[in-house]
Amino acid sequence: MDADRPPAPDEIEECFVSLVEGRVSRDAADRWAERWVREDGVGWDEVSWWALNRLYGVDLPAGDGAGYLHDDEQVRAWLGELRRRRGR
């Protein structure tokens, strides 16, 4: 994940894959996506914007303090949805 330029759709999908496979932490995925969600002047396509907004907040704790607001199953479902929206 290159920090100097906005990510391409393939890079956003790879962040999801890395998260699902445990190669990147939820905190790291959230911080990476946060930068791009908050960046002014980037003209995101609809699918990339949707995906970045799923990643931004992926580390939010559940209200009961046990686990995450969005569990691993939800994250895998988002990856599937991303792939569907991208026609993969």
pLDDT value at residue 5:
84
pLDDT in tens, 12-35: 999 999 999 999 999 999 999 999
* DSSP assignments along the chain, one per residue: --SSSPPPHHHHHHHHHHHHTTSS-HHHHHHHHHHHHH-TT----HHHHHHHHHHTTTTPBPTTSSSBSS-HHHHHHHHHHHHHHTT-
pLDDT value at residue 4:
75
- pLDDT at residue 86 greater than cutoff 70: yes
pLDDT value at residue 9:
94
In the chain, domain spans: 19-35+44-59+70-88
- pLDDT at residue 42 greater than cutoff 90: no
Rounded average pLDDT over 50-63: 95
pLDDT value at residue 3:
63
State the pLDDT confidence band at 1, using cuts at 50, 70 and 90. low
